[in-house]
Structures are given as C-alpha cells and as structure tokens.
Amino acid sequence: MAKILIVDDEHLTCEMLSTFLGLIGHETVSAYSGRQTWDKLAYEEPDAVLLDIMLPDENGLDICRKLRADETTHDLPIIIISAHSPPMIDEANRAGANSYLSKPIKMDLLKSTLANLGIR
C-alpha cells in the first residue's frame, strides 16, 4: 500500500481519485491549494503525488519544480493531472514530472501509470 498525495482545487476530483485509489489499496491525503500542499508535506511522507496544474494560489508546475529542487522530495514520483487543452506534456516534463494524465482521468490508465512508477 502506498500513500498518495492528491493536489487539486476541485474537491470532487480529489474525492473521486481518493475513492478509486482506496479501492485498489492505497492511502490518500488531499490538498486543495499550493499552501495546503506544503502544509501536508511538512508532516506527511507520500510515496507519490498527483498534482493539478491550475491551483488557486500556486501553479502546479512551480510546485513540481520546487519538489525536484528539494533533496527530500527530489525522487518523489509526480504525476501531473490537468484539463488543459492542448495538454501541457512538454511543460510538465521540463518541470520534472514523471508522467502526465489528462482530465477526465481514466482509472485504468492511472493504475497502470502508478504501476510503471513502481507504485502497486
């Protein structure tokens, strides 16, 4: 079982992802803003992060860059999730994301993406 931090300002998205991840055996923690992300990371040690780009107070790509620059979170698997059209895959890769999923997220694709990152 892995602990996964879900960062998305849409509460329904967090609930949906949390429910699915719980059903496949993972524990989840949710944050709805950049500030909450940093607050959660101060006392939680997630095994992976699902990170939306558009947050009310901080860009998810900036959060990704900061996580990569910090020695304690440098290797943390990060999956960028976004409803942007066209997808911002190149920007996510440059920010250091391990993967990118477009919303609406297909649960089988999320499961296989996590598995490819060693999260089972």
User: For the residues 27-32, what does the mean pLDDT come to?
Assistant: 98
Domain count, the chain: 1
- Name the CA radius of gyration of the chain, rounded: 13
CATH number of the domain that residue 35 is part of: 3.40.50.2300
- Residue-wise DSSP of the chain: --EEEEE-S-HHHHHHHHHHHHHTT-EEEEESSHHHHHHHHHH---SEEEEES--SSS-HHHHHHHHHHSTTTTT--EEEEE--SS--HHHHHHHT-SEEEESSPPHHHHHHHHHHTT--
Does the pLDDT at position 20 exceed 90? yes
Question: In the prediction, which pLDDT does 65 show?
Answer: 98
User: For the residues 115-119, what does the mean pLDDT come to?
Assistant: 97
Nearest-5° angle of CA 98, CA 87, CA 80?
A: 30
Residue (of 99, 103, 104) closest to 116 by Cα position: 99
* Tens-digit pLDDT profile for residues 49-96: 999 999 999 999 999 999 999 999 999 999 999 998 888 999 999 999
Q: Please give the model's pTM, rounded to 2 decimal places.
A: 0.96
Handedness of CA 65, 68, 71, 73 (dihedral sign): positive
Q: Answer for the pair 7, 55: CB distance below 8 angstroms, yes or no.
A: yes
Query: With bands split at pLDDT 50, 70 and 90, how would you rate the model's confidence at 103?
Result: very high
Question: In the prediction, which pLDDT does 37 show?
Answer: 98
Does the pLDDT at position 2 exceed 90? yes
> The domain containing residue 39 runs over which residues?
3-116
